[in-house]
Amino acid sequence: GQNIDQPTEMTATEGAIVQINCTYQTSGFNGLFWYQQHAGEAPTFLSYNVLDGLEEKGRFSSFLSRSKGYSYLLLKELQMKDSASYLCAVRDRGYSTLTFGKGTMLLVSP
Amino acid sequence: DSGVTQTPKHLITATGQRVTLRCSPRSGDLSVYWYQQSLDQGLQFLIQYYNGEERAKGNILERFSAQQFPDLHSELNLSSLELGDSALYFCASSVGGTSGGRGNIQYFGAGTRLSVL
């Protein structure tokens, strides 16, 4: 089985940087994903990590440490439209299915 | 637009009834996944089909069933509906079945909001 933990809520100011953490426990690991979900809308893919280290994509970066069962999503130059839920998900070895955390609701204020 | 199409967008029905949700995957994707999302449970995996065959099962109730047709579209059937079945139901698709890698990223449809009254 898998267990994924992430903070329930975070707040930040427009233009700032925020880091959303995710810890996981899994019997087998085959990738960690971050999705963004605005209220009532579809989750949209942000990033994928399978090896240790940092993956950067524009204002968003994601980090993975497999030995620590830890990942974070870093959002820079926050914009109001970044207010959303951020979902951490883990894929098990031998499967393509994902187990999602309950999500971190990020509120960006002016 | 992810390329995954779900219909209908909204569905309102009564307890005890049966409904069918439909999903068309992205062009070229062979896997379809169904998820249920409620406020208290988050996004829960229900079932996966790959090229017409069931590939993985998650927390799917016996009252729920799914299938994938030869044209790769999928349907999720929910029967004997209860108030607690009210939720957002998402379909996602990916290229492969059990393979990993960046090529097997799941892309989600806009969802069907089911309200059971």
Q: What is the pLDDT of residues B63-74, one digit of tens each?
A: 999 999 999 999
Contact list in A for residue B99 (CB cut-off 8 A) is 96
pLDDT at A28: 84
Q: Could you tell me which chain B residue has the CA closest to the CA of A93? A: B100
User: How far is residue A12's CA from residue A83's CA, in Å, rounded to a whole number?
Assistant: 9
Instruction: Convert the pLDDT of each residue in B68-99 to its tens digit.
Output: 999 999 999 999 999 999 999 999 999 876 66
Counting beta carbons within 10 angstroms of the beta carbon of residue B27, is it exposed (0 to 12), middle (13 to 18) or buried (19 or more)?
exposed
Whether residue A1 has pLDDT greater than 70: no
Q: How many whole angstroms separate alpha carbon B110 and alpha carbon B106?
A: 13
Task: Average the pLDDT over each of A49-53, A96-100, A106-110, B14-18 and give the range with the smallest value.
Answer: A96-100
Instruction: Using CB atoms, pick whichever of A45, A99, A101 lies closest to residue B45.
Output: A99
Q: Point out the residue among A30, A35, A101 whose CB comes nearest to the CB of B100.
A: A30
Q: Give mean pLDDT, residues A41-68.
A: 95
Q: Are B99 and B50 in contact (CB under 8 A)?
A: no
User: How far is Cα B10 from Cα B18, in angstroms, rounded to an integer?
Assistant: 15
